[in-house]
Amino acid sequence: MTKPANTRTASSRQPQLRRGATLEMVRLTCPDGPQALKIATSFGTAIIDSDGIRSLHERQIVEAADSLSEGLGEKAMQIHLQRIVGAFVGSAHGAGQFYSRAVSEARDATAKASNDARDEDLDGPVGYDSSAQRKREFAADMGIQSHALRMAAEGAVAAYEHVVGEAWKPFDRPVENPGASLDRKAAETQMAAFG
């Protein structure tokens, strides 16, 4: 008689990884050029030079890598640039997520403000914006900021590919002490048994 394979031990031996932000994730959360232009013109904010931000960051990272090339080996340069580009991409992704939440709050506030029966959402005293208007303006500011960071991240990724010669991929960090999360899950299951 053959023993059934124990799938639990096979999966528990594989290290758990914390996934890093990718450029695709940034592109999904941050406005692109046309959307940023639409936001800027609709809210009367400054129109930023998207291409200039991208090319400046690409140029700066390439120049920094050139200056380090004599002191760093190929692998050390790759690791160094991996970390730098990861910081740019992570920052843009965080800004994009914050922008998405700000847009959701602005939509909710605007929908509530359109209901005439709600006193708390009506316009403020003369000379002051309504809460919904302030949330829309805040979301617009966050949209422009996240777009600028997206362009910086795209420039950094392009610089990485230029210097290293391969496409940038995020570093997937091993989760520290993965057994603790399994212990916590086991404890939750055991406690749930008590009702």
Tell me, yes or no, if the pTM score tops 0.95: no
Distance separating alpha carbons of residues 144 and 48, to the nearest angstrom: 8
The H or E element spanning position 91 is helix 74-113
Distance separating alpha carbons of residues 54 and 101, to the nearest angstrom: 25
Q: Is residue 50 part of a domain?
A: yes
The pLDDT assigned to 186 comes to 78
Q: Is residue 180 part of a domain?
A: no
**Tens of pLDDT, residues 21-67:** 888 899 999 999 999 999 999 998 888 999 999 999 999 999 999 99
Q: Provide the CA 182 distance to its chain's centre, in angstroms.
A: 28
Q: How many structural domains are present in the chain?
A: 1
Distance separating alpha carbons of residues 186 and 78, to the nearest angstrom: 40
Distance separating alpha carbons of residues 164 and 159, to the nearest angstrom: 8
Region 82-91: what's the mean pLDDT?
93
Burial class (CB in 10 A: 0-12, 13-18, 19+), 148: buried
Distance separating alpha carbons of residues 181 and 131, to the nearest angstrom: 41
Helix axes 74-113, 131-164, angle to 10 degrees: 160
User: Length of the chain, please?
Assistant: 195
Q: Is residue 93 part of a domain?
A: yes
Cβ atoms within 10 A of the Cβ of 78, count?
17
Q: Is residue 194 part of a domain?
A: no
Distance separating alpha carbons of residues 165 and 55, to the nearest angstrom: 18
Residue-averaged pLDDT of the chain:
82
- Position 159 pLDDT exceeds 90: yes
* Structural domain of 99: 20-169
